[in-house]
């Protein structure tokens, strides 16, 4: 099981919300890797990139636990599993833009006023991992942000993409707070079906990554880019950077 699986992130968020001491969050094993083979990046190159979080999630600087992409002046696209538990309390969520390192105060944080989850979002499982189907949600911000929106697209027949996020980078760097990006191969649906069988649904999912480049915990909701367009968002995977198990992404071209 990953260090902070979706469930334990959830437990931590809800635990924080209920003021349960962190010791109550069950300890978990360590992930193999995260934005492996990546390098530090600047949000200047990704002005639409949001760090989605909550002040209640005090275990992470800036309260960050996911990524997201500005798609309109006051709209952020993120993963449903990141925010579905905030549907009835959207005001507990924030989106921060322009903060290269989460320990800093740069950029700008905006409150969230509504959470809309994909109508077909549902969870199944693969081994210890929660699998999100149609793992997409749209946040409405309290005020418009004066930043360019991300350009969305389709992967076409691309063989590689780029991933970006503030998530863990390796077993020895669990507490990464820097934005990092990596180039990741797109191994295709057959490779993904070999890894995940029926848990992988090519109609709304896409695989990316290898043992050398993958996303990991706290990268969810962040972008997979092809030719500068966001084509999918980080969703799930078996561990991180495990040979034969690429990361799985929620395709944007499956949006209703």
DSSP state letter for 168: -
Q: Does 135 bind ligand ARG (CB under 6 A)?
A: no
Q: Does 201 bind ligand ARG (CB under 6 A)?
A: no
User: Any residues with CB less than 8 A from the CB of 18 and at least 6 apart, and which?
Assistant: none
Q: Does 170 bind ligand ARG (CB under 6 A)?
A: no
130's enclosing H/E stretch is strand 129-133
The two structure tokens encoding residue 145 = 């942000």
Q: Does 240 bind ligand ARG (CB under 6 A)?
A: yes
Which of 170, 220 has the CB closer to ligand ARG?
Answer: 220
The two structure tokens encoding residue 201 = 């649904």
Q: Which part of the chain contacts ligand ARG (CB under 6 A), choosing from 10-18, 95-103, 144-152, 235-243?
A: 235-243
Residues noted as catalytic: 81, 135, 220
DSSP state letter for 85: G
Among 8, 176, 210, 217, binds ligand ARG (CB under 6 A): 217
Spatial CA neighbour of 60 closest among 209, 212, 211, 165: 165
In the chain, how many H helices and how many E strands?
Answer: 3, 15
Q: Does 166 bind ligand ARG (CB under 6 A)?
A: no
Q: Does 215 bind ligand ARG (CB under 6 A)?
A: yes
- Give contact residues for ligand ARG (rule: CB under 6 A): 6, 9, 167, 209, 214-220, 234, 236-237, 240, 247
């Amino acid at each position: 099981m990953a260090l902070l699986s979706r469930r334990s992130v959830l437990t931590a968020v809800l635990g924080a919300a209920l003021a349960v001491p962190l010791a109550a969050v069950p300890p978990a094993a360590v992930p193999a890797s995260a934005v492996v083979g990546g390098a530090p990046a600047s949000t200047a190159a990704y002005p639409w990139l949001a760090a989605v979080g909550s002040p209640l999630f005090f275990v992470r600087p800036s309260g960050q636990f996911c990524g997201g992409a500005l798609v309109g002046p006051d709209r952020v696209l993120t993963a449903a599993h990141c925010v579905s538990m905030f549907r009835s309390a959207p005001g507990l969520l924030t989106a921060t833009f322009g903060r290269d390192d989460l320990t800093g105060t740069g950029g700008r944080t905006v409150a969230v006023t509504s959470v809309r989850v994909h109508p077909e979002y549902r969870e199944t499982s693969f081994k210890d991992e929660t699998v999100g189907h149609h793992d997409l949600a749209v946040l409405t911000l309290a005020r418009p942000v004066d930043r360019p929106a991300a350009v969305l697209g389709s992967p076409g027949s691309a063989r590689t993409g780029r991933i970006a996020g503030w998530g863990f980078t390796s077993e020895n760097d669990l507490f990464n707070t820097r934005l990092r990006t990596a180039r990741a191969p797109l191994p295709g649906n057959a490779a993904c079906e070999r890894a995940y069988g029926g848990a992988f649904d090519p109609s709304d999912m896409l695989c990316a990554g290898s043992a050398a480049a993958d996303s990991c915990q706290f990268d969810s909701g962040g972008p997979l880019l092809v030719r500068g367009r966001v084509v999918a968002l980080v969703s799930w995977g078996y561990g991180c950077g495990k040979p034969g198990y690429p990361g799985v992404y929620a395709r944007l071209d499956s949006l209703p």
